[in-house]
Structure 1
Amino acid sequence: MNTEILGIAIQIILLVVLSYPLGKYIAKVYKGEKCWSDFMTSIENFIYKICGIDPKEEMGWKKFLKTLLILNAFWFLWGMVLLVIQHLLPLNPDGNGPQTPDQAFNTCISFMVNCNLQHYSGESGLTYFTQLFVIMLFQFITAATGMAAMAGIMKSISLKTTRTIGNFWYFLVRSCTRILLPLSLIVGFILIVQGTPMGFDGKMTIPTLEGGEQTVSQGPTAAIVPIKQLGTNGGGYFGVNSSHPLENPTYLTNMVECWSILIIPMAMVLAFGFYLKRKKLAYSIYGVMLFAFLVGVGINTYQEMNGNPRIDDMGIAQENGAMEGKEIRIGSGGTALWSIVTTVTSNGSVNGMHDSTMPLSGMMEMLNMQINTWFGGVGVGWMNYYTFIIIAVFISGLMVGRTPEFLGKKVEAREMKIATIVALLHPFVILVGTALSSYLYAHNPEFVESEGGWLNNPGFHGLSEMLYEYTSCAANNGSGFEGLGDNTWFWNYTCGLVLILSRFIPIVGQVAIAGLLAEKKFIPESAGTLKTDTVTFGVMTFAVIFIIAALSFFPVHALSTIAEHFSL
């Protein structure tokens, strides 16, 4: 077997095998059951005490959301202040300057919504202080926010009739102390052993083979990379992200980082089954997501390992596949796998340049984010799928003449309206943003030129670059087709708006649906109840998701990625 294919297979098998025990453990953490991490209780109690929090207080869904939003607003202001004065703060041995207000706005919003879109280069755009006390801090908080929201929904579903969905602070703190922190320490140790730097010295000056000198950035890289992957964050410590030889030094670190991106989203799906004691339903959801993931891996691996047909026409052998924008030590197969892993989640890290992948690979990367339900971000990926379950239950009930119910609760017009708004918001902000930027590029060249021109690749690929940017923002992903010059007033503010809408409106809607259903009278299952834990319903949900995505995005792909593919 090809060693690259073998590496891909090993990573996928490890993900599937290890997601089961991790999912079981996560369910225990949120249910408050006895587990090995109980030694963290004293630390958690200390946090509650100094913050004046009562972790046993039960919250209704409105208070739960209010707490979540206020917390995020506070940290947004914290980040804005630190980024614009970072040149005055300690831990800045390289003398990096402040961010401009529009860039700081985009950076704060991006990291606050778990997107980590970067309109700056990590080495020069931040100091060690802001890397730690803005970026790394946000990566823990935002990941835990999504996990806490899912935990609240799980609790509301598990109770027959209730007006509360748990305590946001309890779920948030436990997500950090018992899940994200322990896994980050393990991954960080592996990275340090493999050569990832961990210190506070400034840039190194090293001699080159040609006799010149080169400066190489360092810093507390090994502390930040683990949580950027495990929390499905993705912001690169270095400008070129995980294709950098210090951020991702070896094939082993590449496997560990790639595994880290997907393990918690996969485990959270199974945690849902363990929490509710409905493992069959969790397996059904897991199976649909895994199938979609594997299809994407197959397509991108084939495309990247077979190379560019234009190079074949020149009579040049492509033994290693399409290697433009990729690292030799990782290979085309390893880059293809990463491109799917990072886009089926809300993790925008890259180990190769997506802008250089084959057109159909780029299409798959964007479709994963445009569908935005295949595992997704920690917590919120399952919540996006939950939206489509509600829609599928309602449609299926109408088709077979049964009352639409999900886990003993009637799905009525109010829940359907919220679910429909959440489902349609995603394509709306992506397509409106792409249409606006395309119009300005075509009809207002003076404005575009005043911002640096935006596109290095006009035509089909230029449209793909703009479409990818808004897709990445809406999916809270953060990767990009880097032929786009995006550190401008226009892109910083429009992307920031898409980031805010696409993060918080779905969370508000999904928690609201769960809270509204929780308040309804529980109806025991009967012969007339629509079964939602079957293969048939899983296929139905997949069909609903695919049809909505196809109707929304096929026209724009026909003008961008598909047109580019047929132009090769």
Structure 2
Amino acid sequence: MGPVTAGVLQLLALVGALALVHIPLGSCMARVYSSKRHLRVEKWIYRGTGVDPDTEMTWTAYLRGVLAFSAAGVLFLYLLQRLQGVLPGSLHFASVGPAQSFNTAVSFVTNTNWQSYYGEQTMGHVVQTAGLAVQNFVSAAVGMAVAIALVRGFAFSPARFGSRGGTAVRTGELGNFWSDLVRGTVRILLPLAAVAAVVLVARGALQNFSGIHGVGQFTGGSQQFNGGAVASQEAIKELGTNGGGYFNANSAHPFENPTPFTNLLEIFLILVIPFSLTRTFGVMVGSVRQGYTVLATMATIWLGFVALMMWTEFAHHGPALQAAGAAMEGKEVRFGVGGSSIFAVSTTLTSTGAVDSFHSSFTGLGGGITLLGMMLGEIAPGGVGSGLYGMLVMAVIAVFIAGLMVGRTPEYLGKKIGAREMKLAAAYLLVTPALVLVFTAASMALPTPGHSVLNPGAHGFSEVLYAFTSASNNNGSAFAGLNANTDWYNTTTGLAMLLGRFLPMVFVLALAGSLAVQRPVPVSAGTLRTEKPLFTGLLVGAVLIITGLTYFPALALGPLAEGLA
């Protein structure tokens, strides 16, 4: 079997598995977030934290919950790292420095999992399990909660009413953040991650709390390695589109990703919730065809990127690539070019950032594809939760564009898209590009951060652009070749992660609140049918054109210049 055939077969198997679970998982998640019942363990959590899970929240109250919970997570994880030297199970590792502790705490709370350190040489068992692994669960649950809040903004029809000063007013309530957070963690992420971890252990992934061991080498000498709860963290890092690796080699390490089967399983885990959330969306708004439209948009972009990546990496340009049969530099022979290409596209079109190959060693155009995947906003299918709400914002933009074409007030799912909604959607779109381009420009212009660039020229520019694209989009993968463990990069990428995660959430929840207070608009002959293939094409075009106009000049200076050289 040739490598191209093997890659195509892996892709077909993956698509089949995702299709098989789409309806049951998507419908299950809709029931989870719509149920009025609380499990016993959930009641214990609410009682212990003093939370009333049945209190309805407006968008401002929902946002305060998101920000307060995330701020507490940053503080806890920061202190845990600073105190590591005196904690049990530290493996005799020293406490982590202030700048790196800040960067790592922000990274894991924002679902970015950017790592400017060697995991097996820096973090002990307590920090890995009680700190990083816990944030892998709850940061993903926060993203899902915000997405569900936006779906409720569309779904609540008619809007519920309350009383204020004796006058009936629209309350615009979006549910309860604490209930959504707990349910996403307890009912969805924990069971799926537990099953995935067992499968990974069965296939050879590491799972223990051993200390540091010395092993001999074939060429003489010895090296040290430590164990850890690797499989359990690997499962949720992929399932929650987090991405932080227990080891520096991430999912290319045989302890994290032992076989081609586990490699395909990890790609499946990355994609399964984001793709299935489109079904959840369709069920909750009362039209599964609307969910299929969003799914078709995501799938079209994802499949297109996979095809382009395989083409660039199998292109055989140059004698070295022809001798190897493909662009094998930086790729694991266990997985091949096909498996590595699918993984690279999936991890950069979501907010995962896990890698099973060296993205810096991809061809110039292949590296550009990974960059462009993040620049789209990671919406095809995107991160857990963030992909769905990002695509719904793009749908609002697409509906507005269609409305301008026909001279009609745009509507989406029975809600009018007016000036307020468009301002919020535009603000959402502008935040991330501004962070990426401003921080990249500053890093290239200032002399001190310039010393971290090990590869001058177009590739060096791509490394810096990739770093801030990854941080601002909460991806977490790296092009490598860039020394990011400096005060400048730890601080600036930390700020990019914070602003890139929570400013968009502000605009999303404000948009949800604005939609929730609207009366539904009845469907008429002039209403744009957003469940039709025509709208899928319009949405794909809007995503690609808006991203291209924003980032093409920067891409022309980096990966395009390198690829065409």
Alignment TM-score, normalising by the size of structure 1: 0.94
* Count of aligned pairs: 549
1:326 maps to 331
Which residue is 1:78 aligned to?
76
Moved more, 20-29 or 477-486: 20-29
Residue by residue, what CA displacement relative to the aligned partner does 1:437-475 show, whole Å, maximum 9, x if unpaired?
Answer: 1112xxx2xx247xxx21221101001000100110111
Alignment of 1:252-331 (within 5 A): 252-309=261-318, 311=320, 317-319=323-325, 321-331=326-336
2:340 — aligned with what? 335
Aligned partner (choices 373, 377, 381) of residue 375 of structure 1: 381
1:141 aligned partner = 138
Q: CA deviation at 1:63?
A: 0.4
Give the match for residue 7 of structure 1: 10
Provide the rounded CA distance (Å) in 2 between the counterparts of 1:337 and 1:407: 33
Give ranges in structure 1 of 5+ residues lacking alignment: none
Q: Residue 204 of structure 1: SS of its match in structure 2?
A: strand
Q: What one-letter code is carried by the residue in structure 1 that aligns with 2:355? A: V
1:258 Cα deviation from its structure 2 partner: 1.2
Residues 1:186 and 1:416: Cα distance change in structure 2 (over 3 Å): same
The reply on whether 1:409 has 2:412 as its aligned counterpart is no
Partner of 1:45: 43
What do you get for the CA RMSD once the two structures are aligned? Answer: 1.5
Q: Describe the superposition over 1:255-275 as per-residue Cα deviations: whole angstroms up to 9, x where unpaired.
A: 111110111100111110112
State whether residues 402 and 530 of structure 1, in contact with CA within 8 Å, keep that contact through their aligned partners in structure 2.
Answer: no
Among candidates 344, 348, 353, match of residue 349 of structure 2: 344
Corresponding residue SS for 2:149:
helix
Q: What is the aligned-residue identity percentage? A: 39
Q: Is the 8 A contact 2:82 2:98 kept in 1?
A: yes
Provide the secondary structure at the position in 2 that maps to 1:324.
coil
Bigger mean CA deviation after superposition, 387-396 or 103-112: 387-396
SS of alignment partner, residue 317 of structure 1: helix
Query: Quick one: distance in 1 between partners of 2:12 and 2:69?
Result: 40
8 Å Cα contact 1:306/1:318 also seen in 2: no
Residue segments in structure 2 that go unaligned for 5+ positions in a row: 161-171
Provide the residue aligned with 1:153 in structure 2: 150
State the Cα distance separating 1:310 from its structure 2 match: 5.0
**1:126-525 matches, cutoff 5 A:** 126-160=123-157, 161-162=159-160, 163-309=172-318, 311=320, 317-319=323-325, 321-372=326-377, 373-440=379-446, 444=447, 447-448=448-449, 453-525=451-523
Q: Is the 8 A contact 2:6 2:338 kept in 1?
A: no
C-alpha distance in 1 between matches for 2:30 and 2:20:
17
Cα distance change of structure 1 residues 365 and 63 upon mapping to structure 2, 3 Å threshold: same
Structure 1 counterpart of 2:551, from 532, 550, 553: 553
Contact 1:403 1:529 (C-alpha < 8 Å) held by counterparts: no
Aligned to 1:100: 97
1:527 is aligned to 525
The runs of at least 4 consecutive aligned structure 1 residues that moved more than 4 Å come to none
Do residues 115 (structure 1) and 80 (structure 2) align? Answer: no
Deviation at 1:10, TM superposition (A): 0.9
Is 1:32 equivalent to 2:35 in the alignment?
yes
1:32 Cα deviation after fit: 0.9
Deviations 1:98-121 (A, max 9, x none): 111111111111111100000111
Structure 1 residue 359: deviation in Å? 1.0
Judge conservation of contact 2:449–2:488 (CA < 8 Å) in 1: no
One-letter identity of the residue aligned with 2:299: L
1:395-423 deviations in Å (ceiling 9; x for gaps): 21121122211222211111111111111
Could you tell me whether the CA contact under 8 Å between 2:359 and 2:479 is conserved in 1? yes
Deviations 1:332-360 (CA, angstroms, capped at 9, x unpaired): 11111100010110001000110111111
Distance 1:538 1:5 in 2: 25
- TM-score, structure 2 as length reference: 0.95
Distance in 1 (CA, whole Å) between partners of 2:542 and 2:449 is 38
- Give 3-state SS (helix, strand or coil) of 2:258's partner: coil
Q: Is the 8 A contact 1:370 1:471 kept in 2?
A: yes
What secondary structure does 1:214 align onto?
Answer: strand
Q: Give CA-to-partner distance per residue, 1:519-546, whole Å, 9 cap, x none.
A: 0122221222222222222222222221
Distance 1:436 1:26, change over 3 A: same
Does 1:18 find its partner at 2:24? Answer: no
* SS of corresponding position for 1:364: helix
* CA–CA distance in structure 2, aligned partners of residues 165 and 489 of structure 1: 40
Partner of 1:544: 542
Counterparts of 2:380 and 2:437, CA distance in 1: 21
> What is the distance in 2 between the residues matched to 1:199 and 1:71?
30
Distance 1:8 1:405 in 2: 37
Residues in 2 aligned to 1:439 and 1:455: alpha-carbon distance in whole angstroms: 12
Question: Deviation digits for residues 468-512 of structure 1, max 9, x if unmatched?
Answer: 001101111000011111000111111111111111111110111
Q: Secondary structure in 2 aligned to 1:225?
A: helix
Asked if the contact 2:152/2:516 (under 8 Å) is kept, the reply is no
